[in-house]
Amino acid sequence: MRVRQLAEKLGVSADTVRYYTRIGLLAPTKSTANGYKFYNIREQSCLRFILSARDLGFSVEDITQIIAKADDGQSACPTVRRLIDKRLHETQQRYLDMLRLRKRMLAAVDSWDSKEDKAPTGNQICYLIEEFIEVEVGSETK
Amino acid sequence: MRVRQLAEKLGVSADTVRYYTRIGLLAPTKSTANGYKFYNIREQSCLRFILSARDLGFSVEDITQIIAKADDGQSACPTVRRLIDKRLHETQQRYLDMLRLRKRMLAAVDSWDSKEDKAPTGNQICYLIEEFIEVEVGSETK
DNA sequence: ATTGACCTGTGTGCAGCTCACAGGTTTAGA
DNA sequence: TCTAAACCTGTGAGCTGCACACAGGTCAAT
Ligand SMILES: [Zn+2]
Ligand SMILES: [Zn+2]
Ligand SMILES: [Zn+2]
Ligand SMILES: [Zn+2]
């Protein structure tokens, strides 16, 4: 199997497969004739694992560690439990950040609906942005 | 004002100010004597604007466009309205992605609580991940 | 003059891919 | 058999928004 065939089989781009190969997560054999990389069934199941872990929020570095443990013959489960706890906290944080940002953006759009366009002055670049922040900072203290 | 003073005044790192300077969002005068960059009051208010826009979810590229419009003497308001709509959709999407991911991660952690650690086999790297995905994919179709 | 603390600009690194590009391979046609 | 176009490959670079490393400059105290 060459890179494109593997990629299509598992529904990712060939570049993604190349990337995982480049960083050492996949280790295809190198054809002697033309230098093309050759992925066997073992690489395929490894990629499947990588994609599953990715979908659970593990970073590429996490996956590297997990695979290294397993390749070493040890159980990766403790590592997996430890790492997902960390990533879960991060995901939670990012989720909250997105939520707050979304709220702020919606408030801005809403308040801008009743405001007209204005040309910039020497002091202001865009009064929509500058005045919205002032209002928001003020209302945050109450 | 030199880079550090400006940075501390507005509560960001000196590297952040240097970054905005590097990409042309800030244009300090260059001291002839020692090559140090000098930020005046105008650069300061420009940085304040940049930070306000950043907090509203605008990208650096967005901010570049907005400032360019204003520097050109035109109203940046239409640009601002158009761009925030785009960024709002993206933020919404990322928010939903985080929400789904969080849910998936929580489900994994929950189901793993009652499972023991296992050593890897020739076919499996970590059964926690591999079997959770199978279960999840199955339950998605019902 | 010298030490040391602090500051500066520039270059590089980061995740997780994606894109650009020069060249090799395969295939269809003549 | 030759050729030309379509397709594929590996490698290198680029993306965002900074943060860090580093060699050297500056300044106050000795
Ligand atoms: Zn925890
Ligand atoms: Zn405006
Ligand atoms: Zn819309
Ligand atoms: Zn395991």
Domains held by chain B: number: 1
pLDDT in tens, B4-45: 999 999 999 999 999 999 999 999 998 767 888 999 999 999
Residue B83 Cα to ligand 3 midpoint, Å, equals 10
Query: B142 pLDDT band (50/70/90 cuts)?
Result: very low
Q: Show the domain range for A5.
A: 1-55
pLDDT in tens, A33-57: 788 899 999 999 999 999 999 999 9
- Distance, C-alpha B88 to centroid of its chain: 13
Contact B123/A at CB under 8 A: yes
Fill in the amino acid letter for B70: A
**Is residue A3 included in any domain, yes or no?**
yes
Residue A37's H or E segment, with its range, is: strand A37-38
**Is residue A6 included in any domain, yes or no?**
yes
What does the alpha-carbon distance between residue B61 and residue B87 come to, in Å, rounded to a whole number? 12
CA→C1' distance for B23 and C10 (Å): 13
Tally the C-alpha atoms within 13 A of residue A126's C-alpha that lie toward its C-beta: 31
Handedness of CA B45, B50, B54, B56 (dihedral sign): positive
How much is the pLDDT for B141? 45
Hey, which bits of B29-120 come out as E strands?
29-30, 37-38
CA→C1' distance for A9 and C25 (Å): 22
Any idea which residue has 């070493």 for tokens? A72
pTM, two decimal places: 0.90
Contact B74/A at CB under 8 A: yes
What are residue A29's DSSP bridge partners?
A38
Residue A123's H or E segment, with its range, is: none
**Is residue A50 included in any domain, yes or no?**
yes
- The angle at the Cα of B22, spanning B21 to B25, to the nearest 5 degrees, equals 45
CA→C1' distance for B17 and C15 (Å): 23
**Contacts of residue B50, Cβ cutoff 8 Å, sequence gap at least 6:** B20, B25, B26, B63, B67
**Is residue A101 included in any domain, yes or no?**
no
Residue of B nearest to A128 (CA): B77
**Is residue B70 included in any domain, yes or no?**
no
**Is residue B95 included in any domain, yes or no?**
no
Residue B81: both structure tokens together: 């309205």
Contact B42/A at CB under 8 A: no
* pLDDT tens, per residue, chain A with 142 residues: 999 999 999 999 999 999 999 999 999 998 767 888 999 999 999 999 999 999 999 999 999 999 999 999 999 999 999 999 999 999 999 999 999 999 999 999 999 999 999 999 988 999 999 999 767 665 654 3
How much is the pLDDT for A142? 39
CATH number for position B2: 1.10.1660.10
**Is residue B99 included in any domain, yes or no?**
no
Nucleotides of C under 7 A from a protein CB: 7-11, 15-20, 24-25
How much is the pLDDT for A141? 45
**Is residue A33 included in any domain, yes or no?**
yes
Pick from B78, B109, B118: which is nearest to A77 by CB?
B118
Residue B82 Cα to ligand 3 midpoint, Å, equals 9
- The angle at the Cα of B125, spanning B130 to A71, to the nearest 5 degrees, equals 165
What does the alpha-carbon distance between residue A26 and residue A46 come to, in Å, rounded to a whole number? 7
